[in-house]
Structure 1
Amino acid sequence: MADLTPWQRLQQANLVEGDAPHDTRPHWSSRFLLGMVGWIAALFLLFFLFMSFSQLTRDANSALMMGVVLMAIAYSLNRFAQRNATSSDLVDQFVLALALAADAWLLYGLIDQLDPHSAPLWLGLALLSLAIAALFEHWLIRLFHSFAAAILLTLGLACLGLQLLALPLVMAAITLCWLQAERQPVHHQCYESLTLGLALSLLVLGRLHQPLWDGGASMLDELGHSRLPLWLNPLLCAALLLGVMVRLKLPLRYGLPLVLISALIPGMGAGTLVLVLGFYAGSMGLMTLAGLLLLGFGSLYYYDLGLTLMTKSWLLLGSGALLLGTRQLLKVLNGRTPS
């Protein structure tokens, strides 16, 4: 019995019939070469278009038109491949190269016409990026454009003086996407790529979204000074984290310290939320990203604090003692709990 293959064991249990299925997927080296050929073909096409229409693309409106045409070609090719089940690494990489080139041409056409302080423009571009992410059936295109949508949303909110709401809104979008992936397993790949793209944007928002004390400077203040108090951002993040824990029916006695830390340290709620969702779904990608977020936000909080090194040392010592005491208390509580 120990020498039987998994397929033979399934046959003995009358769960399957016939010969074992063969893996029809090509070797990774063949897939890599196909992907490279797709990029080379796309680059040749882009070089031909640039040489043929170089005079036209110097004009902003013509560059915009070229970007729209390339995006339409990429979308049509993507839909055709998905509809006819002919999607391959060559086609996927070709579509990705065309979509990124279209983004570059659109950005080139908009860069001279952008008003950096126009909130409707940034918010409109965020909606456009989100629409592209939703329309394409391509994992990487969804990831890149959901990432861009979060950044553009933040810039639009900064023009309105509401940049402190960017982090909670992106966290809410991540939670919604991941819960939708649980409710609709058929579309899990779509929601997974959107979730990872939004979660990646948190790495950038952590440095942009706000200063850590009154009087500090934020990189978004150039677009508009914040109209909201600084304490509102971590409080909203902590409230959202608590709501997710209640929704997922997680034990609150372990989660409440995380909620308390999220309410005190800006950004920690975002990393903790991604960590909770990653553990709940068993996603190694989300858990790895959560580790980077927690490390990054914790480092920013430590280095940006307007305190002396001695005070920071006492804070670290106190934090370590508190964590060790919490660990010992949890061990005692678990020992009293009947198994």
Structure 2
Amino acid sequence: MSSSSDLWQTLRSASLVEGEMPQHQEPHWATRFMLGVVGWLAALFLLFFLFLSFGDLARSPDQALAMGAALLAVALVLNRRARRSDLWDQFVLALTLAADAWLIAGLVDRMDLHSFAAWAGLCALAFAIAFLFEHWLIRLFHALAAALLLTLALACLGWQALAMPLVMGLLAGCWFWAERRAHQHDRYEAMAFGLALSLLLLGHLHQPLLGEVSLLEELGQPRLPHWLNPLLCAAVLLALLHRLRLPWRQGILALPLVLLAALIPGMGAGALVLLLGFYAGSLGMMALAALLLLGFGSLYYYDLALPLMTKSWLLLGSGALLLLIRALLLRVRSVS
């Protein structure tokens, strides 16, 4: 504290600041935690009251949709008008999630699960909620939901192979918009994290259900070849490398990532998140990239119809290649 006071006095003597040193106004973490708990309790009591009062009406799909829309409108007004605090933030989050649940309950019986327009409309709604609400978690959750709904919409057309490249492009766009528009950085950053999290789930949507067909194939038979997915992911990754304008040495060293993305489905998503994380210095993005690379690499490894000895030789060769790349990177760093 004395060092802070000395620094403030030095700045005052240099006429860089005026007045007394500002006091730390941030509440203790325990206070913030209790306010968050109170916000959730208040929202749950309100929802319990609404369920007891309008529970019979909400069983109708139309009434459930109306209740969800009303709760969503109330949450938006409170988010925009109320004074920002941990209590109100958690209260708004609980109301928004409850509104989502009521909307889903109302749409289940009315919606054609094989309709592209229905899933696309829900995707647009999720993106609109993520854009309108000034709440980091609401933006993250709804950006994640929007990416999954976009995938389901494309599956209805048989275009499952386009889902991951499109989400990767949206992710890169949100990340660059967050850097370009400083006043809206939190909005686009939260949406970018939601899109990155959705990439963890997209690979599992392609996995078979009970050993028969995948969830996406249940909605529509694929009309595009499966090899198109990794090639498009590699193309998006190559476009990102061009957009980042890396030095030629670093660009050449990043080309193996493009080749890996073109060969193994899903690895392009991990490589893109990894490059964005290193470019922006985001530990969160780099952690998600590690999960993506590990997850998709494991799926590819276990899906290979090869003997275990062959897989062992492949792992040994991959380790030797990574060690060689590490030695090359260290050499390039020492030269530069």
1:282 maps to what in 2? 281
Deviation at 1:241, TM superposition (A): 0.8
2:170 maps to what in 1? 173
Structure 2 residue corresponding to 1:236, chosen from 232, 235, 254: 232
2:91 maps to what in 1? 94
CA distance in 2, matches of 1:283, 1:30: 28
Contact 1:167 / 1:209 at 8 angstroms: preserved in 2? no
Deviation at 1:254, TM superposition (A): 1.7
Q: 1:26 to 1:173 in 2, by over 3 A?
A: same
Deviation at 1:289, TM superposition (A): 1.0
1:164 maps to what in 2? 161
Q: Which amino acid aligns with 2:59?
A: R
CA distance in 2, matches of 1:257, 1:60: 52
2:72 maps to what in 1? 71
Deviation at 1:222, TM superposition (A): 0.8
CA distance in 2, matches of 1:273, 1:332: 24
Structure 1 residue runs of 5 or longer lacking an equivalent are none
CA distance in 2, matches of 1:9, 1:299: 57
1:121-270 aligned at under 5 Å gives the runs 121-209=118-206, 217-250=213-246, 251-270=250-269
Q: 1:187 to 1:173 in 2, by over 3 A?
A: same
Structure 2 residue runs of 5 or longer lacking an equivalent are none
* SS class of match (1:53): helix
Deviations 1:104-149 (A, max 9, x none): 0011111112211111101110001111111111111111111100
Q: 1:16 to 1:256 in 2, by over 3 A?
A: same
Contact 1:132 / 1:145 at 8 angstroms: preserved in 2? yes
CA distance in 1, matches of 2:157, 2:219: 8
1:26 maps to what in 2? 27
Deviation at 1:210, TM superposition (A): 6.7
2:45 maps to what in 1? 44
Identity over aligned pairs, percent: 64
Q: Which amino acid aligns with 2:300?
A: Y
CA distance in 2, matches of 1:53, 1:217: 40
1:17 maps to what in 2? 18
Question: What is the TM-score with the length of structure 2 in the denominator?
Answer: 0.93
Q: 1:162 to 1:91 in 2, by over 3 A?
A: same
Question: What is the TM-score with the length of structure 1 in the denominator?
Answer: 0.92
* SS class of match (1:242): helix
1:299 maps to what in 2? 298
2:272 matched to 1:273?
Answer: yes
Count of residue pairs the alignment pairs up: 330
Contact 1:208 / 1:219 at 8 angstroms: preserved in 2? yes
1:104 maps to what in 2? 101
Contact 1:166 / 1:209 at 8 angstroms: preserved in 2? no
Contact 1:37 / 1:90 at 8 angstroms: preserved in 2? yes
Q: 1:133 to 1:147 in 2, by over 3 A?
A: same
Contact 2:127 / 2:146 at 8 angstroms: preserved in 1? yes
Contact 1:164 / 1:210 at 8 angstroms: preserved in 2? no
Deviations 1:262-310 (A, max 9, x none): 1111101101111111111111111111111111111111111121111
Give the alignment's Cα RMSD to 1 decimal. 2.0
CA distance in 1, matches of 2:258, 2:240: 11
CA distance in 2, matches of 1:329, 1:44: 61
Q: 1:9 to 1:271 in 2, by over 3 A?
A: farther
Q: 1:310 to 1:40 in 2, by over 3 A?
A: same
Structure 2 residue corresponding to 1:115, chosen from 107, 112, 115: 112
CA distance in 1, matches of 2:66, 2:4: 64
* SS class of match (1:46): helix
Contact 1:196 / 1:286 at 8 angstroms: preserved in 2? yes
Deviates more, 1:3-12 or 1:303-312: 3-12
